[in-house]
Structure formats: C-alpha cells, structure tokens
Amino acid sequence: MDRRGFIASGALAGTAALATPALSQGALPEVRWRCASSFPRSLDTIFGAGEHVGKRVAALTDGKFQIRVFSAGELVPGLQVADAVQGGTVECAHTASYYFVGKDPTFAFDATIPFGMNTRQINAWLYAGGGRELLQEFFAGYNIHSIPCGSTGAQMGGWFRKEIKTVQDLSGLKMRIAGIAGNIMQKLGGVPQQIAGGDIYPALEKGTIDAAEWIGPYDDEKLGFNRVAPYYYYPGWWEGGLNLSFYVAKSKYDELPQVYKDVLESACRDATLETMAKYDVQNPQALRRLVAGGAQLRAFPREVMQACYKAAFELYEETAAKNAAFKKVYEPWKVFRDLEYQWFRVTESTFDNFVYLMHAQAQQQRR
C-alpha cells in the first residue's frame, strides 16, 4: 500500500505541476461530463470512488474539468451503464466490468475472475504486467476507454437462508451472483440471478432468491442482508480481489487535452488507493457488529470450494476454445498469474500465515 500511495501521490503532484501553468494561461477548455454509476448512493465507499474522481479532477483543474456522478437508476439502470457509454447517452460511467459478461465474457478480466488473483496481483497485472494494454484493445471495439478506479479486496461469500454443507446443496439454489461466477454456479446446479445492488434486499426478503453476495461486511450491513438471511459465508472465491472501472466513451476521451487525461488517470489511481483503505478499516468493524447481532459466520466446505474451482477452470478452457477475444487475454493472464503465485507463496503468503497463526495463539493464551 505504501508503494501505491507513493505512485498515486507522485502522479498527482506531477499532474498538478503540469496543469497549473496551462490553466493560468486560460489555454484549456471547460469540460462537463455526466458519469452513470452502477452503485447506489447509500454505499458511500464504492459509490464514493466515482465521486472521489469527480472531486479530484475538479480540484486539479481549477474547476475547468468537472464530472458529475449519478447513482444507479438516476440516468440509466446500474447494469446498463456500459451501453450508455458506448451509445453516447453519457460521457462516462463507474462500474464493475463483470456485469457485462453477457456481451462477452472477456469483460470479466477488467474486474476479476473466480479463483483468480488478489488485489495486489491484479494491480500488478494491470499497471505493469501488460493487462491494461490487452484490455484497451478489447474495449476499443465497444467505444470504451477503461481506467482502473477502485478496489474492494477479497470479498465475502454472501448470505444464505440455509447452510451449505455439500455440493448438492447448491442444486436449485437461486442466488444473486455477478459475472462469470454465475456460470460456474450454474454448472453445479445453481440458478444465478444478475440483480443490481439496490434491488438485492427485496428479492432476498421476498424469497425470490435463496442467497445473495455483494461485497463485504460494511456494504452488506448497510443493505441489511443480515435481517433476511442468517448464514454469512466466506470466502468469496469468485472475487479474490475486485478492480472497479471508470469507463469513458473513447471518442470523448480522445478529445481531451493531454493534461486532462493525466488528471483523470491520477484521480482514478487515487480513488483505488482510498477505496481499498476504507474497506480495510470499515470491514473488520462491521463484521464484529454483524456477528454480535446474530449473523452465523461459516466457511465454505473444502468439498464445495474444490468443486467450484474445478468447474471454474473447465469453464475458462471451454470459453477460450470458442472465443478468440477471451483466449487472447486469458493465455497471457495465466502466464502472469503463475509467476505471481510462485512469488507470493515464497514470501507474502508465508509471512501472512505465520503472523496470523501466532496472533491467534496469543489471543487464546490470554483467554
């Protein structure tokens, strides 16, 4: 996080230095954009990432470049923002790309895929491992320029009306679950439902669905899922790290002065750092409150995790065999993932597992 903070602050400082002389000469145009978010305003962290971009862009350009962010449904439904950008209804959007795998499963790589990489590894792939270059080529076909803009970290596995003890318990389960994860659940007999964040609670309350995943304790508590489903599962194997995205209509992006492009890029990086930091502070506190309030915390059984893992990579290979765009991203993604896994197993995972174990043992001794 220190490294990312240094990069973000350095980029912002450089952008500010670049922007000031041009602005003082009155050389840059006034730009007013509308941003359609996929998220409800009540979710201040994830919706707030888009707002953060708007505020930073305005601050760094003396108000000449302004982006007004609208919550899901105010301009267009939350799951239709890609269409709105592509068609020119709005100039930009803040979203999670896996919402649009119905168009092409390749969209998922801009967000995350089940049993994929964690947050640091995703950032490494996007910013230094060639991921963004591959994805920009893909997005150009949709008149979209996509910028990483927000991160949730590893997510929870969601809220269930009944316990999940075996793979058979997934059969017939109607679950709100986003992106390719829904296809994996379907392979195991589940019935995936694609529902926008603000519509999940009533569907779970009415019994239209049996389970729902969203993000993690802080947002889940705000949406009230604990009031209508008692079992809270982990981990969210479909989202070991989620990259959020700021979509800009490519034609609009190309029209921007270079300094505005730099400002937008820096603001999005800053939003990524801030969003992840907020979740890391807010989620532990919210989880304590949820458990104290009666939520039944459960780990997915290993049998279920293994079955989902197997189904996931079978699905990827099947998709790559028939989708050239997916294969073009998936093959280098796998090579990069393999190297990251080897490195993290040597040091990151070893360190984390050791200190967590020692901390747990110390807590038990104090009791």
The pLDDT of residue 26 is 61
Instruction: Specify the pairing of strand 31-37 against strand 92-95.
Output: parallel
What confidence tier does 198 reach under pLDDT thresholds 50, 70, 90? confident
Q: Which residues, other chains included, contact 230 with Cβ-Cβ below 8 Å and sequence gap of 6+?
A: 159, 160, 161, 294, 295, 296
Read off the pLDDT band of 307 (50, 70, 90).
Answer: very high
At residue 239, the 3 state secondary structure works out as coil
Which H or E run includes 159? Answer: strand 158-160
Query: What is the chain's mean pLDDT, rounded?
Result: 93
Segment 265-294 mean pLDDT: 98
pLDDT > 70 fraction of the chain, expressed in percent and rounded: 93
Torsion sign (Cα): 183, 188, 191, 194? negative
* Tokens encoding 280: 């890391």
Instruction: Report pLDDT digits (tens) over 240-278.
Output: 999 999 999 999 999 999 999 999 999 999 999 999 999
Is the pLDDT assigned to residue 138 strictly greater than 50? yes
For residue 29, whether the previous peptide bond is cis, meaning omega lies within 30 degrees of 0, is no
- What single letter denotes the amino acid at residue 296? Q
292: its two tokens: 């104290």
Among candidates 168, 173, 114, which has minimal Cα distance to 312?
114
Whose CA is closest to 308, among 114, 153, 171?
114
Collapsing DSSP to helix, strand or coil, 70 comes out as strand
260 closest CA partner among 84, 119, 92, 89: 92
pLDDT for residue 15: 45
Cβ neighbours of residue 135 closer than 8 Å, sequence gap 6 or more: 109, 110, 126, 146, 329
- pLDDT recorded at residue 196: 82
Please provide the DSSP assignment of 183-237 as one string.
HHHHHTT-EEE---GGGHHHHHHHTS-SEE--S-HHHHHHHTGGGT--EEEE--T
pLDDT at residue 3 greater than cutoff 50: no
Diameter of the chain by CA atoms?
68
**pLDDT score for 1:** 39
pLDDT tens track for 10-34: 444 444 444 444 454 468 999 999 9
Closest CA to 242 of 36, 45, 67, 3: 45
Q: What is the pLDDT of residues 226-244, one digit of tens each?
A: 999 999 999 999 999 999 9
Q: Single out the residue of 193, 252, 192, 199 nearest to residue 224, CA to CA.
A: 199
C-beta atoms surrounding 130 within 10 Å: 15
Q: According to the model, what pLDDT value does residue 11 have?
A: 45
Please state whether the predicted TM-score (pTM) of the whole model is above 0.95.
no
Query: Whole-angstrom Cα distance, residue 101 to residue 209?
Result: 21
Answer yes or no: is pLDDT of 161 > 70: yes
Mean pLDDT confidence for 116-126: 98
